[in-house]
Chain A
Amino acid sequence: MGRDGKTARRRDGKTSRESEVVGRASSSLSPHHPMTPSPLRLEGALMAAPVLLLVAIFTIYPVGRAIYQSLRIESPIFPARFVGLKNYQDVIGGLFFKEAAITTLWFAAITVPILVVIGVLTALLLNESFVGNALLRVGMLLPWALPATVAALIWKWIFLDSWGALNAGLYATGLIDNYIPWLTTPSLARMAVIVVFIWTQLPLVAIFLLAALQAIPNELYDAAAIDGAGVAGRFWNVTFPGIRPMLVIVTLYETLMAFTNFDIVYALTQGGPGTATTMVTYFTWVESFKKLDFGKGSALAVLIAIASLALILVLVRAIPKGALVEERT
């Protein structure tokens, strides 16, 4: 599976079905689309107005306000005044921000690849028929549907240092003689956050990839089998090109989720031990709502927003043209 395989796959991937989809999606909102009645009607604007107004009010003003107050000292303790870029300098120059930024990058770099790989395996598994498949498919929605704080609490009970279920179980089966301090050892606490994040996100990744898998026509597999392709050959030449658009979407989405993960850290580790699991969103929350420094908090928030948007742009650029169109279907 080198570079040659990749180009071959792309050529293979352009089936007639895919190009049809491209044509449909690219004209989805254009006025010349045959499905759209031609006369301009104002009632359309009226119908869209409530959603548009609500979203606009709660987007334009808050974003403007966030930028404005990031340039000021705003806190209940000090008189508000304009300080220019000082908040940004303080935040970026501060030791804790760098730590939090590194922790966040590191967290995303580990969790997203794991999620995607396990997600593909899970989707392949659920695409097979076996006893209990339906139960697994329905039940797996629960970890995702739960409030993230609840998910974190459930796992806190498992990982707890002094009477967690994991320690009790390992002790009872004789695997350990002393309890392991899962949540107060920096590296283990980070691992715990990763496990909980994967637990809550894997269902969504798997379900999206499963949907993509099921859309691959069986004839493609039959054709590959006739050509003598083995399990690996079928995967790289048929399955992978088929799910690639969905893989891109899922990777994008999960990267964003990893960058903005807050609830799990809040409920599981409170950013600790020390600052081992403090990521930028948790750090922002501490600055804004614990230290009540809204100016610095806003500066941080603006930085996160810029970083996320930059990340999205970079990833979208990195996607081969046409890989995203199936999102619209």
Chain B
Amino acid sequence: MRKRSPLRRAVIYGGAILLALFWFAPFVLVVVGSVLPEVNLLSYPPTWFADPPNLQTYQYIFTGKIPESFEQRGALRSMISNEVRDVPRAIFNSIVVATAVMLINVLLGSLAAYAYARIRFPGRAASFNFVLMSRLIPTVAIAVPYYLIVQRFGGINSYWALIAIYSVLTLPFTTLVLTLYFRGLPVEIDEAARVEGASSWRILRDIAIPLALPSIIGAGLFAFMLAYSEFLFALFITTTSDRRTLPVILGALSANTDVTWNMLMASITVGTIPTLILAIPVWRFMVRGLTSGAVRG
């Protein structure tokens, strides 16, 4: 690479710093807000750092021990948003639902993708296009009918209703990605196996899936992430806190104008950790999928 001029370097680093600030400063502010006493956050003029930071908000979320600053009478308020106690349960609910969606995607997605990539069967092109096009319908357009279906089958406030809906929303993308991947595998292996008398199921199980495993896991994690984050359907399908998912609990907190802000910050921090853990593998999957596809062309 050619040597860069000082101006070019300045532009690059200036841009990088701006981007980093835009993307990361909000997270820093949230973490900072979560460890400060709420009295300090609400003060005017601002005196955020008048008292030392502490981890009592986190302690309250997980153990229910009320932070000292809320126990003084005459403090700015004696109310506390006890809904944040639902956050650990909500994370659990989100993970249960998202894991099931991931497994369904991995299983059904690779089956369908292999068929679309390698097997000729009647209605193949039409059904492939139908599956992909189904995602062009805005979710809000089908929200009410979904609600009525779920209600009819007694699925209100159940895991399975969420799992079914999220599977439908994520499977088209998983199928597309894995179809593209399977199509990229050398076809000679398939043909050799067929000559040996292996069935399509056998080839899929013993050859295609092991070869495509990283992509399958990547696509599965991607589906996990979308299911973990979904809000609109979870909002009206879950009705009690033992079934509500994380986006719904946090959404409810945000709608509460009298929410305890440092508690909310701590909830956000806790709720972000699963996403943070998944971000790196999912990112690798996306970038590899995008670039390797282009390179192969």
Q: Which residues of A contact B (CB under 8 A)?
A: 17, 20-21, 24, 28-31, 35-48, 50-52, 54-56, 58-59, 61-63, 65-66, 69, 121-122, 125, 128-130, 132-133, 136-143, 145-150, 152-158, 162-163, 165, 168, 171-172, 179, 199, 203, 207-208, 210-212, 214-215, 256, 259-260, 262-263, 266-268, 270, 281, 284-285, 288-289, 294, 297-298, 301-302, 304-305, 308-309, 312, 326, 328-329
Contacts and interface: CB of A to CB of B under 8 A. Distances in A.
B171 A149 contact: no
A214 B139 contact: no
B168 A171 contact: no
Contacts of B230: 147
For the complex of A and B, 5 pairs with smallest distance between CB atoms: A44-B119, A44-B121, A215-B294, A211-B290, A62-B145
Interface of B: 1, 12-13, 15-16, 19-20, 22-24, 26-27, 29-30, 33, 41-46, 48, 108-109, 111-112, 114-116, 118-125, 127-128, 130-131, 134, 136-146, 148-149, 164-165, 167-168, 171-172, 175, 180, 183, 187, 190-191, 194, 199-201, 204, 225, 228-232, 236, 246-247, 250-251, 253-255, 261, 264-265, 268, 271-272, 275-276, 278-280, 282-283, 286-287, 290-291, 293-297
Nearest to A137: B283
Given A62-B145, A63-B137, A136-B20, A163 B261 contact: yes
Q: Is the interface of A mostly helix, strand, loop or mixed?
A: helix
A35 B250 contact: no
Contacts of A36: 118, 120
16 contacts: A35-B183, A54-B167, A58-B149, A58-B165, A138-B279, A142-B27, A147-B247, A147-B250, A154-B26, A157-B30, A157-B33, A158-B29, A260-B140, A267-B254, A328-B180, A329-B180
B119 A41 contact: yes
Given A40-B121, A44-B120, A207-B290, A130 B144 contact: no
Contacts of A259: 138
Contact of A43 (B23, B41, B119, B282): B119
Given A29-B124, A146-B229, A214-B294, A153 B148 contact: no
Contacts of B138: 256, 259-260, 281, 301, 304-305, 308
Given A266-B251, A268-B254, 11 more contacts: A41-B120, A44-B115, A54-B108, A130-B16, A142-B272, A149-B254, A154-B26, A199-B23, A207-B287, A301-B140, A301-B142
A51 B175 contact: yes
The CB with the most chain B CB atoms within 10 A, among A62, A138, A203, A262, is that of: A62
B246 A171 contact: no
A301 B141 contact: yes
Contacts of B42: 162-163
Contact of A326 (B19, B20, B297): B297
Given A58-B164, A153-B254, A146 B297 contact: no
A30 to B, nearest CB: 8
B269 to A, nearest CB: 10
Nearest to A172: B46
Given A37-B191, A211-B294, A281-B138, A128 B247 contact: no
B251 A267 contact: yes
A141 B284 CA distance: 10
A21 B232 CA distance: 39
Contact of B144 (A59, A69, A121, A158): A69
Contacts of A309: 136
B172 A55 contact: yes
Nearest to B105: A51
A263 B232 contact: yes
Contacts of B247: 147-150, 263
Nearest to B288: A211
Contacts of A50: 108, 111-112
Contacts of A157: 29-30, 33, 261, 264-265
A97 B185 CA distance: 50
B144 A297 contact: yes
Contact of A55 (B130, B268, B278): B130
A155 B246 CA distance: 17
B59 to A, nearest CB: 21
A304 B144 CA distance: 14
A48 B22 contact: no
Contacts of A45: 115, 121-123
B144 to A, nearest CB: 5
B145 A66 contact: yes
Contact of B272 (A136, A146, A214): A146
B279 A141 contact: yes
